[in-house]
Amino acid sequence: MSTWEHKVMQELTFKAVRSSGSGGQHVNKTSTKVALVFDLNASAAFNDEQKLLLLKKLKKRISKDGLLILQSDESRSQHKNKTIVTRRFMALLESALEKPKKRISTKVPKSAITKRLKNKQKQSDKKEFRKPPELP
């Protein structure tokens, strides 16, 4: 684990809420759904540059208050749901913090241009030969 991962784990807040779906009386009695709440603005785990990057990439997932909320109710076990939502959260942060490689523009090879033009001419000739001949 990197340094920011340890700090982030300490800043996470978990809430257990009642889950919907099948399960009979078990669903009505226990709170198995887990909601993970992370306050990005108040976080000390990231520097300003990283926070801006996270805000930019996760803007659709972050509330107006700067809270990132993820939920899991995949399992009937609260412990498993907590593990699932934590893994999903870490994967989300790692993918958001990745900086894309700068694209190096390349020149189109002459052979590719020639090949395209030959195919174009071949197609044109094919269609030209389908026409009836012009009578004088």
pLDDT, tens only, 80-114: 998 999 999 999 988 888 887 899 999 999 999 99
Convert the pLDDT of each residue in 43-59 to its tens digit: 888 888 888 888 888 88
Structural domain contains residue 27: yes
CATH number, domain containing residue 71: 3.30.160.20
DSSP string, 75-131: SS-HHHHHHHHHHHHHHHHHHHHPPPPPPPP-PPPHHHHHHHHHHHHHHHHHHHHHS
Count of domains for the chain: 1
pLDDT for residue 15 = 85
Structural domain contains residue 21: yes
| Verdict on whether the full-model pTM lies above 0.85 | no
Print the domain residue range for 13.
3-97
Report the number of secondary-structure helices (H) and strands (E) in the chain. 5, 3
